Amino acid sequence: MGPEAIAWLVLGTITVIAGIRARRSRRALRIGRLALGALFVLGGALVNAWYLVSGTDYGGFADMSYLAFVRDTWASVVAPRQEVWIGLLIAFEAIAGALVWSGGRRASLGMAAIMAFHVLLLPFGWFFYAWSVPMLLGVGLLLQAHRRELASSDPPLRSADTGTDEHLVGTSP
């Protein structure tokens, strides 16, 4: 097991545990967001960039898929142009991780994108279920806690009609 695999395992485990604890702990939410952002920026974008420039061949990535469509599409579309497709993956991972780190509503968008990413990994083989299902749980719980925190910390809006302060959450027009 290489250092990148250890980093993935450690950051993924921290993300899942923090996600489970984030409902009751703002600290766990912060730690989970930091770990998830690091997983995607450092363990995803940076590692894949290194693999790409060092000549790693991504051609066999889909070989374990249980769907012929996934194997065939990967072999005919992605593998021959891996610099382009893996380059797009690197950009996605960097942006998603940076969004998670940035906080606010952008972090929600980053977490939702990361959840979609993990769903899209599932057809690549049964092995990915062992990784993606816990990550979906952890990121989903982080997202839920993050949205709850956003809702509770929305600044009051000044109502032009009444001159009173109103919160966005739970108000009616």
92-150 per-position pLDDT tens digit? 999 999 999 999 999 999 999 999 999 999 999 999 999 999 999 999 999 999 999 99
- Look at residue 149 and give its three-state secondary structure: helix
Closest CA to 100 of 112, 88, 117: 112
The 3-class secondary structure across 2-29, one letter per residue, is: CHHHHHHHHHHHHHHHHHHHCCCCHHHH
Task: Specify the DSSP class assigned to residue 163.
Answer: S
pLDDT value at 86 more than 60? yes
- Look at residue 137 and give its three-state secondary structure: helix
Q: Could you tell me the sign of the dihedral formed by the alpha carbons of 120, 84, 58, 55, in that order?
A: negative
Task: Tell me the DSSP string of 37-103.
Answer: HHHHIIIIIIHHHHHHHTT---TTTTTT-S-HHHHHHIIIIIGGGHHHHHHHHHHHHHHHHHHHHH-
- Look at residue 172 and give its three-state secondary structure: coil
Q: Which of the residue ranges 30-34, 98-102, 115-119, 156-160 would you say has the lowest mean pLDDT?
A: 156-160
pTM of the model: 0.85
